[in-house]
Structure formats: C-alpha cells, structure tokens
Amino acid sequence: MCGIVAVYSRREPIAAATLERATKSLWHRGPDSQRQWISRDHRVGLGHARLSIIDLSTGDQPIASEDNRTHIVANGEFYSYEAIQRELESRGHRLRTRSDSEIALHLWEELGPQCLHQLRGEFAFVIWDDKQRCLFAARDRFGIKPLFYAWHMDTLYIASEVKALFAAGVPSRWDHEGVYQSVSFGGHQMRTLYDGVYQVPPGHYLIATDKHVQISQYWDFNYPTAGNSAPRRSDADYIAEFRHELEEAVRIRLRADVPVGVYLSGGLDSCAVIGLAARHHPEPIRAFTLTFDDVAYDEGPIAREMAERAGAEFRTIPINQQRLAESFGDAILQSETLCVNAHGVAKFLLSKAVRDAGYKVVITGEGSDEILGGYAHFRRDMLLYNREGQDPAEIENLLKWLNEHNTVSRGLLLPDGDVGDLEGVRRVLGYVPSWMETFSSRGVKMQQLLSEDFGCRFRERESYRQLLSDIDIPGQLKGRDPLNQSLYLWGKSVLSGYILTMLGDRMEMGHSIEGRVPFLDHHVVECICSQPINMKIRGMTEKYVLREAVRDVITDTVYRRQKHPFLSPPATLNPDETFNVYVQDTLRGPVLKSMPFFNQSKVVSLLDRLQGMDVGERTAWDQILMPIVSMCVLHEGFGLGA
C-alpha cells in the first residue's frame, strides 16, 4: 500500500514544491521512498509515497511506459498479477519493474477504462496518458482504498487522503451540508465533510481532459431479481462454492515479499481467515489480537483458543482507557472523518503494534458482515420483511430476543428511542431498512444538540435523499429481496464511508500497514450475491454459509457464537478514567464553542446528566458524543474554516 497524489492544471504550471509537499504529507502511507514526476509542459504532476511489499528492489513509482508517454502511480495490490505480466510480455510490452502495479499501466494502453475488469484486488491509481491528453483515476470496487479529489483555481487535485489536498493548496474549510448529512444520517459515497472535496465512488473511475471531466461506474453488486434467480441448488453446493472462492481469496493474499500476519478477534470473520490462511502458509502465521479490560468487550480468550486451533503465533495488544485518550486525536486526524466509538482508535494502536513487531502486511476480516448480513439490523430486516409462512407471535418473540441479546448494539446497530420521519424512504423503497431507522434515531438525538442557526438552516432537509438520489433504484433495487436491498444501500454508504475507513485502510496506513480483505474479493462477493438470502441468514443464525463453509477450520466456540460487533468500551461508562476526562474537557472547552454547529450549553447539560442514566442509555448517548469530539479534533488539527 502507498500514498498517491496527482495534480492536473488546465492553465498554470505546477510548482514542484507543491507536489513534493503533498507527497510528503502521505509519508505514513509510504515511508520507504517518496518520488514525483512532472510533465515537460508542467501541466501534470504525479507523486508517490511507497510502502514496498512487492518487488522491493525495482518497484519505485511513478512508473513510465516504454515510450515515456504514459505514467502511473498506484496504491494497493493487484492479485494474480504474474500471469498478466506474462501475457503483456507475450504481446510485446517491455516491463520496467516486476511489481504488480505496472500491469495497470499496460492494460490501460491496450484497453482504456476496460482495463479495470482485468484487475483483482484493493486499489486506487492515477494514469496520465500524454497521447490521449487525459488523466484517468480509478478506485476499487468496494472503496477499500481511498481516492479524493478537488478542483481549485482551475486545477484538479487527486490524493489518497484529504490532508494531501490541503498540503497542495486546496482550502481547508468545512462543508456545512456535508457536516449535517454526516451527523444527522451518516456518510455519503461521494461527498465529504470538507468544502469542495469529493471522493471517487467505489467501483467508479474519473477521466479528466482540458475540456471535460467524467465519472463513470464500472462495477456493481447486481443482486438477482425475484424472477431472475438461478435454479435452486443444494445447501452443500452453495457452501462448497463459497468455500472455494473464499479460500482462494485468502490464499492469493498471502503473496508478498515481506512477512504477512493476521488480525484476529473472537469473531467468525477473522477466525475464518486465519483458519484458511494456516492451510496455505508454510509456517505458523502471526496473529495480532486487541484485548480490553472490560469483559463485555474483550474477545482475547476466544481468539487465543482459535490461534491454538490454527497453530498460529499469538500476540495480544492490551488497550485501556488511557491509551484510547492518548491516541484519539492522532487517530481521528488520520481518519479525517467522524467516529461513533473509539474502536477505530483501538485499530490505530493495533497497527502500531504490528509495525513495531516488524510487519507490513495483515489480512483482516472486514467486509464479511456487509456481504453476509452479519449485523443485528440485517437479522431484524429478515424478521420484519421476510414473514411468509411464519407465525407472527414467533416473529415478535424473536425480535424481542434480538434486542435483549444485543445490548452493546443499542443505538449503534439497532434503533434506540425516537426515529425521525422516514416516510420518504418508505415511499421510494416500499419499506425502511432497519439500519436507516437506527441512523435516524441517532440523528434525532443529535438534532437536540445542534446550534439554533445550523439546525434551522437544514432542519427541513431529508438527509437520506442524497443517498437515494445517487442510487439506480429501478435498476439495482426494484424486485430485489428487502435484505439484499438493505445490504446494497449499506454497501454504498457505511461500508466505504466508515467501516473501510475507521476500521480499515486509514487506521492501518497510519502506521504503514497494508490491510488485505479477502471477503471483499469481487469473486467472493459475486458468489454470495447470487446465492439465496437464507444462505446469509437462517433463523437467528447470521452468516450461515460462512459458518458451514469454514466449520472444519474454526473452533466450536466460534462456530456457535453469534455476531458481536467490534467495539471498544464507551468512554462514558468509565467516569473516573482518562478517556472520559478527555471527552469532558474537549466538549466543555473553547474549540467546540468556536464551531458553528453545536450548542455547547446543551452538550454540557447532557454531560452533566450522563451519570444518572442506565448503562444502555449511556452507551447510546456515547455514540452521539464521539462524533462531536471528532469534529473538535478535525477543526483544530486541520485549522478548518467555518
């Protein structure tokens, strides 16, 4: 993994110092080398901060084509690249390196944007093609790797992180509408918190010329319609099919010229990964596990049992409230977004421990819940919207059971308290996904803390409308099962906007760690998209096909355990601990007062009431306070203008 920068000016020449400054701001993504290239006319510049993992000796970037007319900077991994290298050489291409990144350059020369269909992996890259006089930027199918862009003074800036855009001269200002969208409903696949800064959406590419800019989609989930499903096969067939695709995705992600480790929790996803990885790794694989001092959040004993089952070397990284407080600011500035729990900070500390242990690459379990319906709100959707032939009384009992057995998900994955007006969602979709109800209930709480001016300005906005406006509802949702619709919408918003940011790439790359996610291999995703929904959720058992597919490589404890979301203990549950003191001091301090978004008096009043609440209520409100603390960190750290 690396950091990339591109600058394309339609008029003024690019200053070398600007490009160098932006590249250096991504040093954490690529500490092994930083290089830049500027075109002869000084209108185009590419920068690359390298984390060397494949082809350690000759893989520096930018990489040029044989005639020096086309250049690439890439971030990520292209798997099974050796076969493509051989094919390219057989067709007359002369490769300058043995790195995986170079294949995208030559495939572009042959196929243009269609080259993306030949690429398998986690990636973001930019190509300048002097013959076509165009800049081509692309992002992987799921948004595993970030790619931001901004226009400023007739110049297009592209980078792996927003901080590089700021370093290049893009003004650092809040986007008020983006802020409101984030705090009231959640993320968006294109907009950000920052004025004029956007993301290339997952599964899309951008082409820019002197006269034209275009963003196009090249991949989508494509769930089957009710009348277009393949003939039903046996459970055993579906399980074997999924096992084959997942095991292959894990196997190819073990390829590296440096050691590869695994992030291991007590969850089914990471346990499946290490169980399969152990079958293809020539020696014991190193497992890294976070542990917490609160037993309700600690999965250390389950992970240890799994590590022993896989014959792995087991290493724990203890996390307490003091360490969360000390690293919160650095982690949030690295994420460039808002958190709802300090789990991202814990991941930030985990990546530091992995780097200190001498590792650059880890395989992780992210993405499994998003494609297999692992979260509690997806099970709620199954109960509410797939009722044919089921006893209504039994459904109500199961809904009650779901709430009682997922207390840590209160307000985070299951609705808590009043839900806002979602009638517009119901009109468009015909139902309301449970995760939207959850986010709306969180938004109702947040509305109570907004400043009067900010709240009045946006109060009549239907926050979900921006998300639905970007979705091809007739083409991608109509006629699909409600669970698949819910998964699709979650994948277009929360997956790339939060999960793969706060729990993935940004926390890993904060300490120069490359995270590889086999569950988001597109062959795995296309496989599960085509299978019946009861292979995802069966009764109250989530991720059914995965459980059965990996039963032979996981412990019985993991096989029988229901989903527990990865969370760190909320700060407000520990009033005497350092982290709670940090939250209190931040929200009572001058930074929040200087921001135009929140009424500090109302926030302080909430802080004063917290200790009189029960644990469940306090947990739900903690998820409201975390985004506000995050905004204070970003406001001060980036010097954001209002």
pLDDT of residue 388: 59
Residues 39 and 131 in one domain: yes
Domain of residue 230, CATH code: 3.40.50.620
Q: Can you give the residue range of the structural domain that contains 416?
A: 391-481
Per-residue tokens: 110: 């042959």
CATH number at residue 199: 3.60.20.10
Residues 105-123: tens digit of each pLDDT: 999 999 999 999 999 999 9
Residue 565 domain-assigned?
no
Do 193 and 69 reside in the same domain of the chain? yes
The model's confidence at residue 308, banded by pLDDT at 50, 70 and 90, is: very high
Per-residue pLDDT tens digits for 368-378: 999 999 998 89
The answer on 176 and 81 residing in a single domain is: yes
- Choosing from 423, 449, 481, the residue where a domain stops is 481
What's the total number of domains in the chain?
A: 4
Please indicate, yes or no, whether residues 305 and 200 belong to a single structural domain of this protein.
Answer: no
Instruction: Report helix angle 376-385 to 482-490, nearest 10.
Output: 150
State whether 73 and 202 are in the same domain.
Answer: yes
Residue 388 or 112, more confident: 112
* Model confidence pLDDT, tens digit, residues 332-356: 999 999 999 999 999 999 999 999 9
Which residues does residue 450 pair with via DSSP β-bridges, in sequence order?
A: 598
d(CA 48, CA 8): 15
Dump pLDDT digits (tens) for 598-636. Answer: 999 999 999 999 989 988 888 889 999 999 999 999 999
Tens digit of pLDDT for each residue in 152-193? 999 999 999 999 999 999 999 999 999 999 988 876 778 899
Catalytic residue among 2, 115, 339, 527: 2
- Residue 470, in any domain of the structure: yes
Domain boundary among 217, 245, 271: 217
Tokens 């209520």 belong to which residue? 617
Torsion of CA 525, 530, 532, 534, to 10 degrees: 0
Does the pLDDT of residue 582 top 90, yes or no? Answer: yes
Instruction: Write out pLDDT tens, residues 435-471.
Output: 999 999 998 999 999 999 999 998 878 878 888 888 9
Q: Are residues 444 and 346 in the same domain?
A: no
Lowest-pLDDT range, 291-305, 399-413, 531-545? 399-413
Over residues 232-238, the mean pLDDT reads 95
**47 DSSP β-pair partners:** 5, 36
> Is residue 386 pLDDT above 90, yes or no?
no
pLDDT at 364: 97
Q: Is residue 378 part of a domain?
A: no
pLDDT at residue 406 tops 70? no
For residue 325, the number of C-alpha atoms closer than 13 Å in the C-beta half-sphere is 18
Q: Are residues 236 and 335 in the same domain?
A: yes
Q: Indicate if the pLDDT at residue 409 is higher than 70.
A: no
230 plus 200 within the same structural domain? no
Residue 400 pLDDT: 78
pLDDT bracket for residue 398 (50, 70, 90) = confident
**Contact in structure between 308 and 582 (CB atoms under 8 Å):** no
What's the pLDDT score for residue 405? 65
For residue 642, being part of any structural domain is answered with no
Q: Residue 244 — very low, low, confident or very high, per pLDDT cuts 50/70/90? A: very high
CA distance 136 to 207: 5
pLDDT at 372: 96
Q: Is 383 part of any domain?
A: no
Asked whether residue 316 falls in the same domain as residue 266, the answer is: yes
- Contacts by 164-168 with C-beta closer than 8 Å and gap 24+? 164/3, 164/5, 164/22, 164/23, 164/25, 164/26, 165/22, 165/197, 166/25, 166/638, 167/21, 167/22, 167/24, 167/25, 168/5, 168/7, 168/18, 168/19, 168/21, 168/22
Residues 351 and 418 in one domain: no
Q: What is the pLDDT of residue 458?
A: 86
State yes or no: pLDDT of 253 exceeds 70.
yes
Judged against a pLDDT cut of 90, whether residue 562 lies above it is answered with no
In a domain, 566, yes or no: no
Whether 135 and 73 map to the same domain: the answer is yes
Residues 6+ apart with CB under 8 A from 87: none
Which domain-ending residue is among 560, 585, 619? 560
Residue 363 has pLDDT above 70, yes or no: yes
Domain assignment present for 465: yes
pLDDT at residue number 217: 97
pLDDT digits (tens, 9 = 90+) for 38-83: 999 999 999 999 988 877 667 789 999 999 999 999 999 999 999 9
pLDDT-wise least confident of 63-77, 95-109, 136-150, 381-395? 381-395
Percentage of the chain lying above the pLDDT 90 cut: 77
Residue 614 phi, psi (nearest 5): -75, 170
> Does 244 lie in the same domain as 200?
no
Average the pLDDT over 353-382 and give the result: 94
Mean pLDDT of the chain: 92
Q: Is residue 607 part of a domain?
A: yes
Q: Is 527 a catalytic residue?
A: no
What sign results for the dihedral spanned by CA atoms 25, 29, 33, 35?
A: negative
